Amino acid sequence: MIELERWDETRDGPLTEEALREKLESSGYSVTRYVYPPGTTFGDHTHPMDKVDAVVSGRFRMGTPDGEVVLEAGDRLVVPAGTVHSAEVVGDEPVVSLDAVRAG
């Protein structure tokens, strides 16, 4: 099941790239940073492992079996292994994304 988590400043403190990375890493994830320019799209695909797409800035539309959601700064989408999904940068601002997979 796809799970959306939003940054909560009262619980998590101010949103920064470092804080978001730290939150993912403290949950056992290995994190890679990507910057996707406007117009970037990823068609339907899967991954062999559980994955988290977290947005530092910009807007990222994710298509999932449960429908579409637009991720914004601080949003994290947990995508289980084998789940078909797609992604698209929305608008004129690049998306700075932290791509996280279980470390180990």
Structure tokens at 94: 């690049």
Task: Indicate the pLDDT class of residue 104, thresholds 50, 70 and 90.
Answer: low
The CATH-assigned architecture of domain 3-102 is Sandwich (2.60)
Q: pTM (2 decimals)?
A: 0.92
pLDDT of residue 64: 85
Q: Are 69 and 3 in contact (CB under 8 A)?
A: no
Domain segments of the chain: what residues? 3-102
Bridge-partner residues for 87, per DSSP?
42, 62
For the CA atoms of 66, 51, 85, 19, the dihedral, rounded to the nearest 10 degrees, stands at 80
pLDDT tens per residue, range 70-93: 999 999 999 999 999 999 999 999
pLDDT of residue 21: 97
